[in-house]
Structure 1
Amino acid sequence: MTASLGWLLGSFAVAIFFVLITIVVFKVHPFLSLLLGSIVMGLCSKMAFNDISAKIASGFGGTLGSIGIIIVLGIILGELLHQSGCTGQIAGLLLRITGEKRAPFAINLTGFIVSIPVFFDAAFILLLSLIKQVSRKGKIPFITLVTALAIGLITTHAVVIPTPGPLIVANNLNLNLGYFLFYSLIVAIAGSLVGGVVYGRLIGSLPGNATDFANNFDDLEENPVSQTVSKDGPSGELGIFLIFLPIVIILAGTIAAATIADKTSTSYRVLAFLGDKNIALLIGVLVAYLLLHGHIRTSFSELISKCGEHAGAIFIITGAGGAFGSVINATGIGKALVESMSGWTGTSAGLLLIIVCFAISQILRAAQGSTTVALVTTSSIMAPIVARLSGVSPVLIGLAICAGGIGCSLPNDSGFWVVNRFSRFSIKQTMQCWTIGGTISGLTVLACLVVLNFFAGVLPGL
């Protein structure tokens, strides 16, 4: 028996409420909450028992089957860069290029680049010692530099593949990774600069912040910033090259698919093979290991085992999100919603969906704290709608979901406390730099997407 649209929407509201309550109030792990939410959604929408269990299993396995390899490879690449010291070398390189007067820009750009393969927590803690020294030596407000770093890190973490959240969004919406990556870099840079650098300088001028040059760190050694760049370690240029190598390969595959007319030619087949997300990341990992293994103390086997532990936590949430989305799709709510929106034009439908997707993702991010969970859940919800609604840009919809995961970080987010404790900030200062800065970055990305939406159908890939 097929339920009405009103009944399906009510069932969906109950399922989302159930997931949020179990995570926020009862502190249930998102893995169990999403699986139980899938059952609630199926039962409320009158699905057969055996169909619910089958969709949960197929959704879980199908999601991990399509993105599991790239998640592991991305984590391995990040760990190679982290353990070899490339992260600090990149920061030192950019500081030398820009000069200390433009240190907020250099720190922001460092965070933006490093967060592509390296996890937020590790990158923030590693680079914090550098910006303490920059703040004291250059007399730059400490909160300005922390904001520049943190917002650069979280913006990339939420928007640019191969970090897990945007990768899951691209997979759920069946997006072309090359186009998604290209436009994500453009809008993420804008959000990072506005929320991290422009806003960071603004709050650095506020009373109480303007004269704080890492004053809470009286135990900080006054080492010159230049000493953070080791002549014996891998260069910052090499680190940047290794980060962008798989990105360039993926983009090359996308360009080949769009420009080579003969799809049976050897050149097309080779570029399409190399441009596959799994192959591109595998090449990046192998090249990184060959060039960095002399700077890594642990064995490659130990490194992969450690990365597998990190990947496990991501896998169970990702798979559960895929199960939730599979059940939602099976209820027919996406088809019913598309039929109700049949009178919309492409531009208006795209604009409305961009705003709605951003809002849903932002609400989920604020409610339960995790960017990845917010992106997984929102993309699972919207996938059946985007797949059936013509005249809208799936790439822009996917980026809107990612943008919603940047800001509105509250004390239920582990990132909030990483910034708070390691920066030795008050709650007010943490809200100033992290919560508000991230929200400004997300809104800036949203504004860019609204502008791009008017060129959907004109610009390639939109």
Structure 2
Amino acid sequence: MSLGLLIVVFLIALIFVLVSIIKFDLHPFLALLIGGLLMGILSGMSLTDIATGLANGFGSTMTSIGILIILGVALGNLLHLSGCTSQIAALMLKMTGQKRAGLAVNLTGYIVSIPVFFDAAFVILVNLVKSLSRKGKIPFVSLVCALAVGLITTHALVIPTPGPVAVAGTMGANMGWFLLYSIIVSLPAAIIGGVVYGKFLGKSDKYANDFANAFDDVDEETEITSDKNLPSGGLGIFLIFLPIVIILLGTIMTMFLEEGTMAYIFFAFLGDKNMALLIGVLVAFFALKKYIKESFNEIVTDATTQSGAILAITGAGGAFGAIINATGIGDKLVAGMTGLTEGAGIAMIIAAFVISQVLRAAQGSTTVALVTTSAIFSPIVAGMAGASPVLVGLAICAGGVGLSLPNDSGFWVVNRFSKFDVKQTMKVWTVGGTISGVTALVIVIVLSLFSSVLPGLM
């Protein structure tokens, strides 16, 4: 089949996935599987190859990210149940001071969202933001923007959140390098979209004197203060970054050690994403055990239950991607791009961001947008010189940050728990997130200009 016909078939399958999710409320797991089946049939694949391809694609995705997602959820549950999240907020506020409360809230969201899901983290921290707004006479919209954008930026960009884990795995990127550059990209993006834009919003006459006055019926006893009966914020930050540091250590050490030596094997094992996060979860449990009522078995059981839908969707995305790859569309696109200059790498980064952003706006879910877009671009990037899997993957993740519309559950979480109207929610959440995502894209493009000299990008 010609490249043109394959593109038409791909668009039909993709439109089916989007329409079935958005219009007919079909679960993304089924939509992605049926989309893969449809693409395989229309492209002329045999039925047995389609069935095998779907199963293999699902299985290979689980091999890459299944353990990581479950352990990441377990770590988030440990931090949540122990009260670490509020203590991290107290520590950030103490470090930055009352005058920089927006930065404190933003950094708290940025850190907490690495292991804790966006919805849960926002609900946990928004009451603290209300109290801080009132007591510090800080515009409420500024603090909500700082918190929400800090949360969504790491949710879309930093491992071990399921979306970026799926992207790194599908793109075949080294987890250590992907993690390092995701932090470099996401931190300034979160600050610009959350703190800088949030301050701009707060200067508006409409919002300047709104110190969470809509919450007069809310108990104000919740304060951002350190509690001696809870674990310290420093411990919480240490536990979040422990597996991240282990992964980076393993990645860097294996660069300088001779392959096959005992030292190389040890650091390669230690830096394996699954082993690093397993160590992190075990250390977190023993460090927080006295602050948690639930048993470790209950926490792990809850993590596996919560992970089920995520694993199903990401696995189905991998199955859809496997069929896309099996049709040969990636190879034909690469062949059509033969002879392009290094500028093709930047074009690929921008294209990945745009498609991810469109999918995010169309169907609402960041994770589904990232999984689907990485499945599309993985076979293209794999055979194309000058395109970095790490940078294209980060561009895909950046596309999942912004353009959150009312079809996104996160939109209504911010709307409901902040008591904003839809217009306010769009200004604070949708625009703030989009600024963060575009900022991340710009940083990725700048990094691509130095990809030949920066380690781990090619």
TM-score, normalisation: structure 1: 0.98
The 1-side partners of 2:265 and 2:203 are apart by: 55
The 2-side partners of 1:150 and 1:342 are apart by: 42
The 1-side partners of 2:386 and 2:219 are apart by: 58
Q: Deviations over 1:17-73 (max 9, x none)?
A: 111110111111111110110011111111111111110111111111221111100
Query: Could you tell me whether the CA contact under 8 Å between 2:128 and 2:222 is conserved in 1?
Result: no
Give the superposed CA RMSD: 0.9
SS at match of 1:258: helix
Structure-1 residue corresponding to 2:271: 275
The 2-side partners of 1:420 and 1:24 are apart by: 20
**Where do 1:33-182 residues align within 5 Å?**
33-182=31-180
The 1-side partners of 2:265 and 2:312 are apart by: 34
Q: Which moved more, 1:292-301 or 1:278-287?
A: 292-301
**Structure 2: which amino acid aligns with 1:37?**
G
Query: Could you tell me whether the CA contact under 8 Å between 1:392 and 1:456 is conserved in 2?
Result: no
Deviation, 1:224, is: 7.5
Structure-1 residue corresponding to 2:443: 448
Deviation, 1:225, is: 3.3
Query: Could you tell me whether the CA contact under 8 Å between 2:127 and 2:222 is conserved in 1?
Result: no
Q: 1:331 aligns with which of 301, 312, 327?
A: 327
Query: Could you tell me whether the CA contact under 8 Å between 1:409 and 1:435 is conserved in 2?
Result: yes
Query: Could you tell me whether the CA contact under 8 Å between 1:254 and 1:275 is conserved in 2?
Result: yes
Structure-1 residue corresponding to 2:393: 398
**Where do 1:5-24 residues align within 5 Å?**
5-24=3-22
Deviation, 1:456, is: 1.0
Does residue 213 (structure 1) correspond to residue 211 (structure 2)? The answer is yes
TM-score, normalisation: structure 2: 0.99
Structure-1 residue corresponding to 2:237: 240
Size of the alignment, in residue pairs? 457
SS at match of 2:214: coil
Structure-1 residue corresponding to 2:338: 342
SS at match of 1:209: coil
Structure-2 residue corresponding to 1:412: 407
Q: Deviations over 1:375-427 (max 9, x none)?
A: 00000011100110012211100000000000000000000000000000011
SS at match of 1:216: helix
5+ unaligned residues in a row in structure 1: which ranges?
none
**Where do 1:260-299 residues align within 5 Å?**
260=257, 262-299=258-295
SS at match of 2:215: coil
Query: Could you tell me whether the CA contact under 8 Å between 1:71 and 1:163 is conserved in 2?
Result: yes
The 1-side partners of 2:264 and 2:22 are apart by: 49
**Where do 1:317-396 residues align within 5 Å?**
317-346=313-342, 348-396=343-391
The 2-side partners of 1:24 and 1:392 are apart by: 32
The 2-side partners of 1:310 and 1:299 are apart by: 17
Structure-2 residue corresponding to 1:249: 246
Q: 2:256 aligns with which of 259, 269, 281?
A: 259
Q: Deviations over 1:340-367 (max 9, x none)?
A: 0002112x11100000000000000000
5+ unaligned residues in a row in structure 2: which ranges?
none
